[in-house]
Amino acid sequence: MVNEERLRHMLKISEFDTYEDKGCKPMTQYARKDYISLQMIKSFIMGTITFFLIAGLWCLYAVDMLMKLVNSMDYKDTLTTVLTLYAAFMVLYLGATYIVYQMKYTAGRRKVKSYYSNLKQVNQMYERDERLKNAGGTDTES
Amino acid sequence: MAALLEMKERMIRFYGKHEFWLKPIARFLIALAIFMCINQNIGYMSRISQTPIALILALVCALAPVGLTVFLASAVILLDMYALSLEVCLVTLILILIIYFLYFRFAPKNGYDMVLTPLCFQCGIPYVMPLAMGLLRGWYSVFSVMAGTVLYFFLHGVHENATVLSSAAEVEEGTVSKFVIVINQLVDNREMYLVMGIFVLTTIIVYIIRRMAIENAWAIAIISGVLFETIGLIAGYILLEIPDKMVWVMVGNLISILIAFVLQFLFFNLDYSRTERLQFEDDEYYYYVKAVPKAIVSGMDKKVKRFGSREDHLTKKKFAEEMGIDEELLD
């Protein structure tokens, strides 16, 4: 006979395996600090590329003005401005990364915990069944 | 109402029964609409802007995850832009990369939300997107609406200025370059900023009201969203002196409110879109389970769970302790 209680737990386990396993895998492999750090490193690289893409787009847009200013430009001032803008952009981008991945880790970890709780319940049910089976077998022999 | 509910039940049963086929068919139709829309409006490369190519691409998208639809749509757009001119292609590539890095980095699974926004713009009912996103998704969906809006206005601007931007058109001395013309579709497009701002606020308003613990929260959210959108856009168009768009704002919003109520009817009570088919086994049985979850409108979950105060490296022992399981279970 199908054990409905066990079926319910198995359903949850299978649901996790099918739909959440891939997304929640990092939550079983990394501590929060390591996970967030990894994402921050990825975001640092992507953010830097994005900033230079935006800067490139602006250069294309203002190429005429830049050509006129190229001789009279104070390079130190320009570099300071670019670095300040870069820092501001990165603070925003890394800040968003930190918040988003904190939330993702918390949600993922909650799912993983529920998964292991179901796994534990099913394990206990099987062990109980096994014990009952063995006890029945011993009774029959005696 | 009883007849409607009965019809809904029939639809749920039908969806549950034929879900295996309906999902790819829906993906195919959406992808086909996207490719046909691209071909019709910016199909500058005649070799790929043909219905058979669109059909083949849509068929591939039907069998693949949403990411591929976004990738193929981007590739087709880039090829069309390349056919128009190299400058436009370069700017489009940079724009797509920026959207990818800024948006898909955080929400890689929301590709459809972004591609549906330009599609709705093309159908004349973009106003439905903030309503739908606020009703069915989280607050973060504002980013997909923003990305879709930027992409639409950019491509629309390129379409409008195609003659000036085409490779054949030569830039005369003293006139602005093609780069400036194409980037101006983003930088100097006040209508785009207006629409984007109103859409973001509408999405947030609908999302906040929909989650309130009040009766008829969904209906109130829809009506508030539509009212804000209509009044905001009309006021904005008056300020920007684009009066000819005001009539369509009202008509489009009327259509959008109807679609939003259909969405409420379909998704509010039973979330059959999350029907799941699972397969597993134990020593005695094989289980083939189809689970149709009931829609639960969860309240604000304010509980914050913290996993340990010390954030050391994760060990198997520590993880097992945290999960309340035996260490052997992890082997």
Write the pLDDT tens digit of every residue in A47-62: 999 999 999 989 888 8
Per-residue pLDDT reduced to its tens digit, B223-265: 999 999 999 999 999 998 888 888 889 999 999 999 998 888 8
Token output for B36? 């046909």
Q: What is the H or E stretch that residue B205 is in? A: helix B190-210
- For residues B290-316, give the mean pLDDT: 54
Instruction: Give the confidence band of A1 by pLDDT, cuts at 50, 70, 90.
Output: low
Res. B278: pLDDT tops 50 = yes
Are B325 and A119 an interchain contact pair (Cβ–Cβ within 8 Å)?
yes
Q: What is the separation of C-alpha B278 from the centre of its chain, rounded to a whole number of angstroms?
A: 27
Per-residue pLDDT reduced to its tens digit, A113-129: 888 888 898 888 888 88
Tell me the C-alpha distance between B189 and B154, whole Å: 9
pLDDT at B127: 92
Are A50 and B305 an interchain contact pair (Cβ–Cβ within 8 Å)?
no
Q: Tell whether A110 lies on the interface with B, counting CB pairs under 8 A.
A: yes
Count of pairs with CB atoms under 8 A, one residue in A, one in B: 99
Handedness of CA B253, B255, B257, B260 (dihedral sign): negative
Per-residue pLDDT reduced to its tens digit, A92-108: 999 989 998 998 899 88
Q: Tell whether B307 lies on the interface with A, counting CB pairs under 8 A.
A: yes
Are A119 and B314 an interchain contact pair (Cβ–Cβ within 8 Å)?
no
Q: Which of B85, B92, B106 is the mutation pick for testing A, counting most A CBs within 10 A?
A: B106
Q: Tell whether B279 lies on the interface with A, counting CB pairs under 8 A.
A: yes
pLDDT at B168: 64
Question: Residues 35 to 54 of A: which have CB under 8 A from any B CB?
Answer: 42-43, 46-47, 49-50, 53-54
pLDDT at B299: 42
Q: Among B91, B278, B326, whose Cβ lies nearest the Cβ of A60?
A: B91
pLDDT at A17: 81
Say if the ipTM goes beyond 0.90: no
Per-residue pLDDT reduced to its tens digit, B207-230: 999 888 777 788 899 999 999 999
Chain B residue with the nearest C-alpha to that of A44: B101
Res. A136: pLDDT tops 90 = no
Tell me the C-alpha distance between B58 and A4, whole Å: 42
Q: Among A32, A100, A117, whose Cβ lies nearest the Cβ of B106?
A: A100
Handedness of CA A20, A25, A31, A34 (dihedral sign): negative
Are B329 and A120 an interchain contact pair (Cβ–Cβ within 8 Å)?
yes
pLDDT at A142: 43
Is there a contact between B291 and B275 (Cβ–Cβ < 8 Å)? yes
Chain A residue with the nearest C-alpha to that of B182: A61
Q: Which of B101, B276, B286, B311 is the mutation pick for testing A, counting most A CBs within 10 A?
A: B101
Handedness of CA B317, B318, B321, B323 (dihedral sign): negative
pLDDT at B257: 92
Tell me the C-alpha distance between B292 and B275, whole Å: 5
Res. A74: pLDDT tops 70 = yes
Token output for B212? 């309130």
Chain B residue with the nearest C-alpha to that of A101: B106
Res. B279: pLDDT tops 80 = no
From chain A, the residues in CB contact with B90 under 8 A are 60
Question: Residues 82 to 101 of A: which have CB under 8 A from any B CB?
Answer: 93, 96-97, 100
